[in-house]
Amino acid sequence: MSAPAPSPAEIKPPRCAMCRGRMVLTRREPQTNGTEKLTFNCPKCEYVKVKQTEDPLHPTSRQARRRR
């Protein structure tokens, strides 16, 4: 057991830019190019944030390419 299984389904909701609260993932839309469009919603102030995933099929490579 030297290779721990990654969890590609795990998505960490970002903090709300308005009230710093924990946002909730409300929608996932798979795109034709293999990425996913994620819609987050803040339950406190109803702030909405849309995020485009880079490479959902290769979560490890996405992690390695992380720059900021």
**Residue 57 tokens, joined:** 């099929």
The minimum distance between CB 37 and Zn ion, in angstroms, equals 20
Interacting span for Zn ion (CB under 5 A) from 2-10, 24-32, 33-41, 47-55: 47-55
Q: Given candidates 21, 22, 35, 58, which one binds Zn ion under the rule CB under 5 A?
A: 21
- Binding flag, residue 48, Zn ion (CB under 5 A): no
Q: Given candidates 8, 44, 60, 63, which one binds Zn ion under the rule CB under 5 A?
A: 44
Length of the chain: 68
Site size for Zn ion (CB under 5 A): 8
Other CB atoms within 10 Å distance of the CB of residue 14: 14
Residue 42's closest CA among 65, 19, 12, 68? Answer: 19
59 phi and psi angles, rounded to 5 deg: -60, -30
